[in-house]
Structure 1
Amino acid sequence: FNACLDVILTSGLPDANLTAAQLVQLPVYSVGHSNGALLQVLIGSYFSEKIPKANAVISYYNRPATEAIPYFEQLSALASQMMPVVESSPINSMARSASDAWKVLNDTAGAMIPTYDQEAVISLNKFVDQLPSVFKQVAQGISKFKPTPSENRDFCKKSYNVQRTLLVKFNFDTIDETDLLEETLKPRVESISGTLEKVSLSGNHMTPCIQEPRWQVGYMYTPADAIAQGLKTLSLNDTRVLSRTITNWFSSLEE
């Protein structure tokens, strides 16, 4: 993200007729949902530079792997049983060489494209390199995220650095952990003279992910069109309230 932001602040957005000078003073705000909200909080805790001016944290969620991933323990047992078969398979040797092949492809692309984003390539290479060890750990029965949720809370409680934070929860979200996050961050935010606000809205954990249904009205407006538009309005109502809530909160920071 920071690499992308640096490019924009250097070159501007020509397609939108915006120069770098017009963008450089704009504040950086962050919005994250569920596991993305967890990443927001961790970034705001592990780093003190190039962090957002404000965070909108939606439906915070950080539970152990056995709770976060359905049937995780059963899948781990299955992976453990299948590992000897996989290791003896020719496909396994192909998978082991996939990382090297990927790096060769990246090197070739880098030589052909001068503006190749090397930072993105490095990040992607690290991701590819981790895959074999992840599969091996699952096969060995390892069933915990690292750091653990409790370790994350302990670290964020003493290291969170974002000055202004909005916590958003929904009234029909059974896996939300926003209240726990509020309890965790409140002392830290107060110690850095920041603000921590929380709102509860109508909706559920999937409300931020709802897409606008596509319905093309025909040549003549029919009862079916009326029903479809009514359902469209209902399905998007909570999402629109969420959008307005966050937008208004960000706008209030500049007053």
Structure 2
Amino acid sequence: MMNWEEVAGNSVLLPSQPKALIHFLGGAFVATAPQVTYSWLLEALAAEGYGIIATPFINDLNHSAIAQRALNRFETAYQRLGLFRRYLPIYGLGHSMGCKLHLLINSLYDVNRSGNLLISYNNYPARQAVPFVEQLNSLVEFDLEFTPSPERTYDLVRNDYKKTRTLLIRFQNDTIDQTQELKPILEERHPHLVSYLQLSGNHLTPVNPKEWNWQPGNNFSVLDAFGQWVKQQFYSDITQLKKEVLRWLDPINN
């Protein structure tokens, strides 16, 4: 049985003979403990032979700096674990803000990625993404925005995104997903390397507890029935996500 371990500030789940590595970056407000908030999905991928290096981060306005720190932490763990001793494909897997960070890593730095999987991409300006920023910006002395801004991020991707396979996934009931804005930019950059999927679910589908602890009461009620339905729908959506990720990673065997 594999257990999570901490290596150079990352949460690592490593099969004895990994067939590839996945560098995972999560969403803005659930990225501080990815081994907990994304445990179901990440452990399911590890069970299929993929090594997981999940880098936690705390969100602030400087997304370029967060991306650089995440890359440095990943590379430090990669070296300490001795994974450089044999060739292993490396994939970036991001959810929400984690997608933006992988886009920055793949555009600003000289990295070798076999592919990037971007789930529920989100790139809102600070006034929409962070509470109270719009009120602060109404004052003359304030002009707060992420670095890089959404527009600058798209420029970087348009001009500098390294040639690599990219899978874009959005969910049908995701009201804050911006994949449709990103898709044509990536297709313009590398038209034959971009795949797109729309799946059942919502923005929080990848954010998952390891176990669902809903227990019906002694007398099965309408609330119990609703709880069972939610549980079944949750596992249906995330299981489909896992299958599609695995299919893209290894289309021959999936």
Amino acid at match of 1:238: D
Q: 1:172–1:202: 8 Å Cα contact kept in structure 2?
A: yes
Matched residue SS, 2:143: coil
Structure 1 residues 164, 208: CA separation in 2 closer, same or farther (over 3 Å shift)? same
Q: Percent identity?
A: 33
Structure 1 residue 26 displacement after superposition = 2.2
Amino acid at match of 1:213: W
Q: How far apart, CA to CA, are the structure 2 residues paired with 1:253 and 1:27? A: 16
Q: How far apart, CA to CA, are the structure 2 residues paired with 1:72 and 1:54? A: 34
Structure 1 residue 245 displacement after superposition = 0.8
TM-score computed with the length of structure 2 as normaliser:
0.61
Match of 2:203 among 199, 202, 205: 205
| Match in the other structure for 1:98 | none
| Match in the other structure for 1:42 | 104
Report the aligned-residue RMSD.
2.9
Structure 1 residue 52 displacement after superposition = 2.1
Query: Is 2:162 the partner of 1:161?
Result: yes
TM-score computed with the length of structure 1 as normaliser:
0.61
Q: How far apart, CA to CA, are the structure 1 residues paired with 2:150 and 2:229? A: 41
Amino acid at match of 1:29: Y
What residue ranges of structure 1 are gaps of 5+ in the alignment? Answer: 11-19, 81-138
Moved over 4 A (4+): 215-218, 221-224, 226-230
Q: 1:53–1:162: 8 Å Cα contact kept in structure 2?
A: no
Output aligned runs, 1:75-86, within 5 Å: none
Output aligned runs, 1:1-255, within 5 Å: 1-9=74-82, 24-49=86-111, 51-74=112-135, 140-190=141-191, 195-211=193-209, 212-215=211-214, 223=220, 227=225, 229-252=228-251
Q: How far apart, CA to CA, are the structure 1 residues paired with 2:252 and 2:151? A: 31
Show CA shifts across 1:55-78 (max 9, x none): 11011111210111233223567x
Q: How far apart, CA to CA, are the structure 1 residues paired with 2:230 and 2:204? A: 17
Q: How far apart, CA to CA, are the structure 2 residues paired with 1:213 and 1:68? A: 29
What residue ranges of structure 2 are gaps of 5+ in the alignment? Answer: 1-73
Structure 1 residue 229 displacement after superposition = 4.7
Amino acid at match of 1:65: A
Which has the larger share of helix?
Answer: 1
Structure 1 residues 253, 187: CA separation in 2 closer, same or farther (over 3 Å shift)? farther
Q: How far apart, CA to CA, are the structure 1 residues paired with 2:229 and 2:219? A: 13
Q: How many residues are aligned here?
A: 178
Q: How far apart, CA to CA, are the structure 2 residues paired with 1:149 and 1:8? A: 35
Amino acid at match of 1:64: P
Structure 1 residues 230, 179: CA separation in 2 closer, same or farther (over 3 Å shift)? closer
Structure 1 residue 215 displacement after superposition = 4.2
Structure number with greater Rg is 1
